[in-house]
Structure 1
Amino acid sequence: MLKPEIRKIVTFEEETFIEGFKATDTPLRLFAVAAVITNPWAGRYVEDLKPEIQAYGPILGKLMTDKIINLAGGADKIQAYGKAAVVGLNGEIEHASGLIHTLRFGNFYREALSASSYLSFTNIRGTANSPIMVPLMDKDDVGRRSHYLTIQFAIPDAPRDDEVVIVLGGATGGRPHHRIGDRYQDLKDLGRDLDNPAAV
Structure 2
Amino acid sequence: MSQPITRIVVHVVERRAELEVPVEPPHRQVVAAAVLRFDGWSADGPLESLEALYELGAELGTLLTGRARSALDVAPSAIEAYGKAALVGTAVPLECAAALLHPRMGRAMRACLPGATSLIPSVTKRSAPGASVDIPLHGSTDMWSFERFDTVSLSLADAPAPNELVVAVALADSGRPLARVRPD
Same fold by TM (over 0.5)? yes
Counterpart-to-counterpart distance in 1, 2:94 and 2:136: 18
Match of 2:22 in 1: 23
Match of 2:12 in 1: 13
SS at match of 2:182: coil
Give 1:147-186 correspondences, 5 Å limit: 147-182=148-183, 185=184
Deviation at 1:71, TM superposition (A): 1.2
- Of residues 20-29 and 163-172 in structure 1, the stretch that sits farther from structure 2 once superposed is 20-29
Counterpart-to-counterpart distance in 2, 1:72 and 1:44: 42
Compute the RMSD of aligned alpha carbons. Answer: 1.7
Match of 1:66 in 2: 66
SS at match of 1:180: coil
Mapped contact 1:88–1:163 kept (Cα < 8 A):
yes
Give 1:35-74 correspondences, 5 Å limit: 35-39=34-38, 42=41, 44-46=43-45, 48-73=48-73, 74=75
The superposition leaves residues 101-149 of structure 1 with CA deviations (integer Å, 9 ceiling, x where unpaired) of 122x221211221211011010110011110221100001111111011
1:49/1:127 CA distance change after superposition, 3 Å = farther
Please list every run of 5 or more consecutive structure 2 residues that lacks an aligned counterpart in the other structure.
Answer: none
- Is the counterpart of residue 127 in structure 1 residue 128 in structure 2? yes
Counterpart-to-counterpart distance in 1, 2:86 and 2:42: 18
> Aligned pairs, how many?
181
Computing the radius of gyration from Cα coordinates, the structure with the larger value is: 1
Counterpart-to-counterpart distance in 2, 1:129 and 1:59: 25
Please list every run of 5 or more consecutive structure 1 residues that lacks an aligned counterpart in the other structure.
Answer: 186-200
Match of 2:113 in 1: 113
Mapped contact 2:59–2:108 kept (Cα < 8 A):
no
Residue identity opposite 1:54 in structure 2: Y
Deviation at 1:38, TM superposition (A): 1.4
- Of residues 34-43 and 131-140 in structure 1, the stretch that sits farther from structure 2 once superposed is 34-43
1:120/1:41 CA distance change after superposition, 3 Å = farther
Give 1:84-95 correspondences, 5 Å limit: 84-95=85-96
Deviation at 1:43, TM superposition (A): 5.7
- Of residues 153-162 and 21-30 in structure 1, the stretch that sits farther from structure 2 once superposed is 21-30
Counterpart-to-counterpart distance in 2, 1:91 and 1:138: 31
Residue identity opposite 1:116 in structure 2: T
Residue identity opposite 1:75 in structure 2: P
Match of 1:198 in 2: none
Counterpart-to-counterpart distance in 2, 1:159 and 1:65: 21
Residue identity opposite 2:22 in structure 1: A
TM score, norm. by length of structure 1: 0.84
Counterpart-to-counterpart distance in 1, 2:6 and 2:21: 41
Mapped contact 1:3–1:56 kept (Cα < 8 A):
yes
- Percent identity reads 27
Match of 2:82 in 1: 81
TM score, norm. by length of structure 2: 0.91
SS at match of 2:161: coil
